[in-house]
Amino acid sequence: MQWDIVIGLEIHVQLATQTKIFSGSSTAYGAEPNTQANAVDLAMPGTLPVPNENAFRYAVMFGLAVNAEIGRRSVFERKNYFYPDLPKGYQTTQLEQPIVGPGYVDVDLANGETKRVRIHHAHLEEDAGKSLHETFFDELGHGMSGIDLNRAGTPLIEVVTEPDMNSAEEAVAFAKKLHSIVTSLGICDGDMSQGSMRFDVNISLKPKGSDQLGTRTETKNLNSFRFMEQAIAHEVERQMDILEDGGRIIQETRLYNGDRDESRSMRTKEEANDYRYFPCPDLLPVVIDDDFIEDARQRLPELPDARKARFKEQYGLNDYDAGLLSGDAKLAAFFEETVEHGKDAKLAANWIQGEFSARLNAEEKTVAESPITGAQLGDLVVRIADNTVSSAGAKKVFEALWTGENDNVDAIIDAKGLKQVSDTGALEAMVDEVLAGMPDQVAQYQNEEDPKKRKKMLGGFMGPLMKASKGQGNPKLFNEILVEKLGG
């Protein structure tokens, strides 16, 4: 039987406020455990929450960026459940009247099509603490779990989509687009390794063409695009095997282990009434007026779609290059700094998408962690464009910049003797010498009538020429001189 895959996402976006959503505790990452949780975060008797205005501002900015309705009156509820890292015994969240209503995001797919993914809503809530298991157990499994409450009370927006995605590719493309939007807005740092964005994936299968949705499962807390893609593939295969064997899918929450490519059931899926929601008695409804919304609108920066269009027009980039370079705000800024110093946008784009990105990926670094600045790469682009250094030599300069051997492009070129020889007189002398030592190859080339074969045979002379020039001869000029000397 053939199946349709149906996917909806719930995305937890940690807001980049300096303090928590209902207290003055810091949200800075990396502090010693339990040093950033105060009496309000723990709901100690006699304490009252005070809403963080910036959290509301960021939520409204997000709503505007995803073409959504803004909830003029939003209400907080208590979601009651018991878990060691939830010290209150409840989570303050929004259910009936969220701050962001229906919206949508248009996503460009690899096949050239555009997919519209509808946003059901996005609501504000507080994060829970964090349970630490591995640190406190020995090899035999004896020990205890540690609880770090630093994260408790950190503001989140939870973005809930409609089940509009039908493949892992579409889900990942949407997740990347959302990541691009929130980082461009500056409302989230987007660092998934630190839990700044976490994805819950709801997956179901239905017979191909059927209008009846199947039973869904939810795979929680995926913190990378790669793990999301793997988890979806894994869960689709698991459900398909069950259904084709005549079994039925249980509505449940599952956890996926990306290192082992395996999942396990966490708990049967709860419904809203299991959490005994009720309005939070400590928080009044929040009214968002026109002035607040307009203020948020004025704060909106250039968003990914607008930046992509500008890159195409301003820098002459094709759709593919513009999409890759505009998607990440920090990469886009790096590209523009490179072009500002290097002038040649296409060459800058090639180097950023090639050598630069490959090195970042290999060392698992972000753009912000790059040891090379856009200005330095721009200086290197200038020297490639003016033929001061060859492509091979440029890679050696890049390596020296990356490792911190020197921070000046021209100084590296001089110190390593990488300056390309472009003196036509000197190059002609080298060509004459090499051709004199290769009479058979010269004759073979001149007797060949097929232009394609002749062009390929030119490569046989380039090796000796580059050796004669100690790798510093200008390949383009060498080629022109060769063609002239050999008679076309």
- pLDDT for res 157: 98
**Cα–Cα distance, 414 to 409 (Å, whole number):** 9
Model pTM score: 0.84
Res 272: pLDDT: 63
**CB 107, CB 7: distance < 8 Å:** no
Question: What are the pLDDT digits (tens) for 363-420?
Answer: 989 898 999 999 999 999 999 998 888 888 899 999 999 999 999 999 999 998 888 7
Separation between Cα atoms, residue 254 and residue 219, nearest integer Å = 5
CA distance 454 to 303: 50
Contact in structure between 381 and 342 (CB atoms under 8 Å)? yes
Its sign, for the CA torsion 401, 407, 411, 415, is: negative
**Given 2.60.40, 1.10.10, 3.30.1490, 1.10.40, which CATH number is that of 424-485?**
1.10.10
Instruction: Find out whether 237 and 3 touch, Cβ atoms under 8 Å.
Output: no
Q: In the predicted model, what is the mean pLDDT of the chain? A: 91
Residue 260: helix, strand or coil by DSSP?
coil
Annotated domain spans of the chain: 3-296, 302-415, 424-485
pLDDT of residue 269: 64
Cβ distance 462 to 479 under 8 Å? Answer: yes
Write out pLDDT tens, residues 406-435: 999 999 999 988 887 776 787 778 877 877
Identify the segments of the chain with pLDDT beneath 50: none
What does the pLDDT read at residue 271?
Answer: 67
Q: Is residue 155 helix, strand or coil? A: strand
Six token digits for residue 23: 């207290």
pLDDT of 484 reads 80
Contacts made by residues 34-43, CB under 8 angstroms, sequence distance 24+ = 34/147, 34/148, 34/149, 34/150, 35/150, 36/150, 37/87, 37/129, 37/149, 37/150, 37/152, 37/153, 40/153, 41/87, 41/149, 41/152, 41/153, 42/87, 42/88, 42/149, 42/152, 43/87, 43/88, 43/89
Question: Which H helix or E strand runs over 439?
Answer: helix 439-447
